[in-house]
Amino acid sequence: MLIHDILKQYWGYDQFRPLQEDIIQSVSDKRDTLALLPTGGGKSICFQVPAMAMDGLCLVISPLIALMKDQVEHLQHIGINAAALYSGMSSREQLLIMDNAINGAYKFLYVSPERLKSVSFLDRLPHFNINLLAVDEAHCISQWGYDFRPEYLQIADVRPLIGDVPVLALTASATASVVGDIQQKLAFKHPNVFKKSFVRPNLSYVVNQTESKQDRLLHILKRIKGSGLVYVRNRRQTQDIATLLRQHKIMADYYHAGLSNLVRNKKQDDWIKNKTRIMVCTNAFGMGIDKPDVRVVVHYEMPESPESYYQEAGRAGRDNQKAYCVLLHHQADEDGAWNKLENAYPNEAELRKVFQALCNYYSVPIGANTDVSYDFDLADFTSRYQFQAHQVYPALKLLMQCDLIHLNETFFEPSKFRFTVSHGELYKFQVEHESYDLLIKILLRSYGGLFDHYTKISEKDLASKAGKEVGVVVKFLEQLHKLNLGDYQKQKDKPQLTFTTQRVSVEHINFKQAFIKQRKQIATDKLQAMIGYCNNKLICRNKKLVAYFDEPDATNCGICDICIEQRKNSTDLTQANDTTAQLKQLLLKPMHVADVIKAIGIGNENQTLAVLRYLLDQNQVKYNKEYQLIWNEKHS
């Protein structure tokens, strides 16, 4: 079937978005391909369509369980067989899915990257008929990226196990160093990059320097109509800001990862359907949500990197209509960001202490093997070992980056059940154990396929049909599990923690101090770039943002706060020769903008900024690596 027919039949679109067809053709030609498509650019279509056009199975590697589950459910909904493997599943269910994949039951198999270290998975991998290896969030493989995941480094090692199969790596944001690193780490045969411009011409980027963020936020949301997001840094703030907005007659709700899955889904659904106008949230919200009519995204605090800001702000205006991305900024934000960065890198003694506590918490003996997942309750863990949550979380992140543990995000896994005996064996059991007969019959009548695959069940629904208490049904299902008649997996609503290496004595662990030092320097550089974006008064916001992603030749957007201010305070530059001469003398040595303004004179600030903007546009003045201005002698 032709790719356009597949697109129409399954996704209902008549044509591809820009670059999608080129990427699909590259993959169809068996070429390793890196696709850089901004948030909302339609990355999943780029591997789903070509995989449907080829015989075999597409193996998709993704770090986010919630996104994996959403994509699997969507594919199943449109009539495409798909499954996912991730921590938190029972060994039996994982083995069944892998055996089904070998037998050609699926067109897509999604796996979390830590699965690539599983012996049972690697043993079966050569028997999968794989037609394409898709790597989502591919920036995670790069040591220069903002979200490095060591388990991604296993991907190149599995390529020899799956034959001559192309790799399609996808990401929404990557600098030139990350682009090169991705291709090298994934063992590309030849460099091959498709990059859509990071310019979003319908987005108006604004930085508001303000003493009162609450007042400014209210002003923005009353002025800009339509759906919106307000990103804050912690869970408490989500509730506080949402309450403030409601007090001022703005329909708002809050969202963070600590809420139950049922509550999160309800809040998300209300926002998507515009029952809630503004969602106040942490960065746990928004990933994979394709809501096109978001008119405003406000950052209440400064993000830690331009990558984070670009992705979160990019959730605005996916319908290509004008939208606003506003960052509220105060000098105190910078001090707080530096403190947070410093606290994000605990010393080796603290890492050893937390890792030892984890081993004790789960009673993991020395020599124990990996591939077992545990429910992780941060509050209980910190309370039992008298840690502070703000100390433990950074340590957990570093332990993950040192490849000692894997901790996935909070996710909801409903109860599931599958009979592990044949119809005949189960019937014989029912005849011999009459007390089980009624509930077994209700279970079989309520759900199909219980002998073939794991099926989502509701204990509450079964209890209602049987006229019994939910606790009785749970005990019944647990007993079937103990008798090896079925595999019962109770619902989960907690993060899953996995030890990724064989347990050794904590004294013998290498905590990779050189690596951690490098990660801290990368984080420092990214934070410095974010601060430079916030304090910028000269360069078009859009131009400065995409220059970070190696698009130096973008034109002024005309709709950001800098461009609007430039038009408002336009100066007859032919009469600004004196200012230009002063600047040429001053900028023979590098200077920050604020120091330049002081040297010229505070009363002349608008003219000085206008002249500087003109000189920057003419490339007579440039920025150095420390975000200082300096005269460009090459263009004198």
Q: What is the pLDDT of residues 141-150, one digit of tens each?
A: 998 888 888 8
Query: How many domains, the chain?
Result: 5
- pLDDT at residue 337 greater than cutoff 80: yes
Which H or E element spans position 175? none
48, part of any domain: yes
Domain match, 275 and 216 both: yes
Domain match, 420 and 408 both: no
Domain match, 230 and 147 both: no
391, part of any domain: yes
Question: 414: pLDDT confidence band, cut at 50, 70 and 90?
Answer: confident
Which CATH number characterizes residue 135's domain?
3.40.50.300
Q: How far apart are the first and last CA of the chain?
A: 60
Domain match, 398 and 508 both: yes
> Mind listing the pLDDT tens digit for each residue in 268-308?
999 999 999 999 999 878 766 778 999 999 999 999 999 99
Domain match, 225 and 134 both: no
Domain match, 19 and 153 both: yes
Counted residue by residue, the chain has a size of 636
Which CATH number characterizes residue 438's domain?
1.10.10
Q: What is the pLDDT of residue 410?
A: 60
529, part of any domain: no
From 302, 329, 356, give the residue that closes a domain: 329
Q: Which of 239, 229, 357, 213 is nearest to 298 (CA)?
A: 229
Q: What span, in angstroms and rounded, lies between the C-alpha atoms of 87 and 407? A: 9
From 329, 354, 380, give the residue that closes a domain: 329
Contact 162, 125 (CB under 8 A): yes
Domain match, 155 and 277 both: no
358, part of any domain: yes
Contact 541, 199 (CB under 8 A): no
- pLDDT at residue 153 greater than cutoff 60: yes
Single-letter amino acid, residue 430: Q
Q: Is 541 helix (H, G, I), strand (E, B) or coil?
A: helix
Written in H, E and C, the secondary structure of 426-489 is: HHHHHHHCHHHHHHHHHHHHHCCCCCCCCEECCHHHHHHHHCCCHHHHHHHHHHHHHCCCEEEE
Phi-psi group of 119: left, alpha or beta (phi > 0 → left; psi -120 to 50 → alpha; rest → beta): alpha
Q: Say which residue the tokens 């591809």 belong to.
A: 16
- pLDDT at residue 200 greater than cutoff 90: yes
What DSSP state is assigned to residue 555? P
190, part of any domain: yes
From 171, 195, 219, give the residue that closes a domain: 195
> Mind listing the pLDDT tens digit for each residue in 531-568?
999 999 889 999 999 999 999 889 999 999 999 988 77
Domain match, 64 and 163 both: yes
525, part of any domain: no
Domain match, 115 and 264 both: no
Which H or E element spans position 418? strand 416-419
How many helices (H) and strands (E) in the chain?
26, 21
- pLDDT at residue 573 greater than cutoff 60: no
> Mind listing the pLDDT tens digit for each residue in 260-269?
777 888 999 9
557, part of any domain: no
Domain that holds residue 402: 339-412+494-517
Domain match, 355 and 501 both: yes
- pLDDT at residue 527 greater than cutoff 90: yes
Q: What is the pLDDT of residue 172?
A: 87
Q: What span, in angstroms and rounded, lies between the C-alpha atoms of 337 and 344? A: 10
Q: Which of 559, 535, 162 is nearest to 325 (CA)?
A: 559
Q: In this structure, is the dihedral angle defined by the CA atoms of residues 347, 349, 352 and 358, taken in order, positive or negative?
A: negative
526, part of any domain: no
Q: What is the pLDDT of residue 221?
A: 97
